[in-house]
């Protein structure tokens, strides 16, 4: 299962994302799923839905994922040989029966809905990752690695192809509740070309990658199937943090995952492994 590095780079630069890239072997997938199940047992699903942040510093199986040779083969095709991991997070939407609902309502709000009423199931508002990362000097590439099949009905990632060429768009506080993004932002509806939106369905063990400026989001999981993904952000080592109150995210868990870091712009922490 080799990659055509030139094709990945071409697609990535032109459409802002590449999807359905096979990464994990069946054994690796099973190991990751088993280990995630242990964390669910330990912390509970309210926590594992969005709070397993930068746990590559704590668990060796997660560190193995962020350094997976097939992931890095793709990432270095896009970013070049010297790559730093910026951040990682599991993002898990549980089946409908397990999710909390607002009092008495059975309504589910999707991106295509015009309704202004309360959203009751977790979703991810349209946004650009670069809005969160206060850095310059290089692009951010985000990986979405599927631990479960991620399909339309359980809230697969959606992207607006080509939107990475529009620059950074304005964001505001999300109008609907249920937005999983920690700072609860969204791009105003009128600036999102929803007619162009495409789903990025993945089989468990596959990943998609997207550019930090690509507009993307996801609908609630309305199915009985969990949708668990592992999101990893990578930058070239030439990137550097900037003080921007609009993009206040700090970098506590950076790791050089490929090549050399001759810049040392980010102070890497030692993993607890």
Return residues touching ligand AKG (CB under 6 A): 91, 124, 129, 142, 144, 157, 216, 218, 229, 231
Beta strands in 94-239 (DSSP E): 124-127, 135-136, 141-146, 157-159, 172-173, 185-186, 198-199, 206-211, 216-218, 227-236
The count of other CB atoms within 10 Å of the CB of residue 246 is: 9
Distance CA 117, CA 76 (A): 44
- 191 vs 231 by CB, closer to ligand AKG: 231
- 132 vs 261 by CB, closer to ligand AKG: 132
Distance CA 61, CA 108 (A): 35
Distance CA 184, CA 173 (A): 6
- 71 vs 124 by CB, closer to ligand AKG: 124
| Shortest Cβ 112–ligand AKG spacing (Å) | 16
| Shortest Cβ 181–ligand AKG spacing (Å) | 7
Rounded to 5°, angle at Cα 90 from 147 and 109: 90
- 59 vs 230 by CB, closer to ligand AKG: 230
Instruction: List C-alpha distances in Å: 28 to 31, 32, 52.
Output: 5, 6, 20
Instruction: List C-alpha distances in Å: 98 to 37, 44, 181, 225.
Output: 15, 12, 20, 10
Instruction: List C-alpha distances in Å: 237 to 90, 111, 156.
Output: 23, 35, 30
| Shortest Cβ 103–ligand AKG spacing (Å) | 25
Comparing every residue's Cβ against ligand AKG, the nearest one is: 218
- 57 vs 124 by CB, closer to ligand AKG: 124
| Shortest Cβ 229–ligand AKG spacing (Å) | 5
| Shortest Cβ 129–ligand AKG spacing (Å) | 5
- 17 vs 266 by CB, closer to ligand AKG: 17
| Shortest Cβ 63–ligand AKG spacing (Å) | 19
């Amino acid at each position: 299962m080799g990659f055509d590095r030139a094709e990945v780079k071409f697609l990535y630069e032109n459409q802002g994302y590449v999807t359905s890239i096979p990464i994990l072997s069946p054994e690796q997938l099973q190991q990751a799923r088993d280990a995630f199940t242990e964390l669910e047992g330990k912390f509970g699903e309210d926590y594992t839905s969005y709070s397993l942040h930068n746990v590559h510093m704590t668990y060796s199986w997660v560190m193995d994922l962020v350094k997976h040779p097939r992931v890095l083969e793709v990432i270095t095709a896009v970013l070049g040989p010297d790559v730093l991991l910026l951040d990682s997070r599991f993002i898990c939407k549980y089946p409908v029966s397990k999710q909390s609902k607002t009092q008495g309502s059975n309504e589910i709000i999707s991106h295509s809905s015009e309704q202004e009423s309360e959203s009751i199931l977790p979703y991810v508002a349209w946004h650009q990752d670069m809005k969160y990362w206060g850095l310059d000097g290089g692009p951010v590439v985000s990986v979405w690695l599927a631990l479960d099949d991620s399909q339309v009905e359980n809230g697969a990632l959606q992207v607006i192809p080509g939107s990475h060429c529009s620059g950074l768009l304005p964001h505001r506080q999300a109008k609907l509740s249920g937005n999983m993004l920690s700072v609860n932002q969204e791009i105003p509806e009128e600036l999102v070309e929803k007619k162009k939106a495409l789903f990025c369905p993945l089989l468990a063990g596959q990943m998609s990658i997207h550019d930090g400026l690509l507009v993307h989001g996801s609908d609630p999981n309305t199915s009985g199937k969990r949708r668990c993904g592992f999101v990893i952000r990578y930058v070239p080592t030439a990137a550097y943090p900037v003080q921007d109150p609009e993009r206040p995210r700090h970098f506590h868990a950076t790791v050089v995952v490929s090549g050399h870091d001759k810049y040392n712009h980010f102070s890497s922490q030692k993993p607890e492994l």
